[in-house]
Amino acid sequence: MIYKSIAHLPTCSVKPGSVYDGDTIRVICDSEEKKIRFACVDAPEKAQLLGIESRDHLRKVLEDGRMKVKVDAITTDRYGRTVAELWVNRGDDWSLVQSIQSSDGMVWGYEAYKSDCPNWDAIVSTQRRAQSARIGVWAGKSVPPWEWRKGSRR
């Protein structure tokens, strides 16, 4: 489902083997490699419960880098990553990767950054379905990554 027009965005390739975790990948657009941090969501860290599962789920969604994607850049974070909404071509349609990850309970909607999220409502909608179904991060006592990171700094 297309939530807004993305036709103007360049089509990019996911760099094979570059899915670092459930919300960070590398893409190649116009011969330039970019590190992408997904806007609007936060995935469990790899050391957290479901961290590896979230990463592996994203790898499946992106078919280990064989899928074409569109990157809708929003900003650049303090680490120099492009913060963006990512769209994946699934047949005749483009789907928002953040919504796919959210619908399967592999990420949390990142409330602190929702004002920078053009498709926040779509992500929240898919998150509610995952919460109701008690799947993924909603199945047990998972700790949101922003809370987990605070504890791991101590």
Tens-place pLDDT, residues 59-109: 999 986 788 999 999 999 999 999 999 999 887 789 999 999 999 999 999
- 110 in any annotated domain: yes
- 69 in any annotated domain: yes
CATH of the domain at 27: 2.40.50.90
Distances from the Cα of 14 to the Cα of 5, 17, 34, 137, angstroms:
21, 9, 10, 25
Tokens describing residue 133: 């179904």
Mean predicted lDDT score pLDDT of the chain: 91
Q: How far is CA 90 from the centre of its chain?
A: 16
pLDDT at 1 over 50: no
- 51 in any annotated domain: yes
Structural domain containing residue 61: 11-140
> What is the domain count for the chain?
1
- CB-based contact 88:61 (threshold 8 Å): yes
- 152 in any annotated domain: no
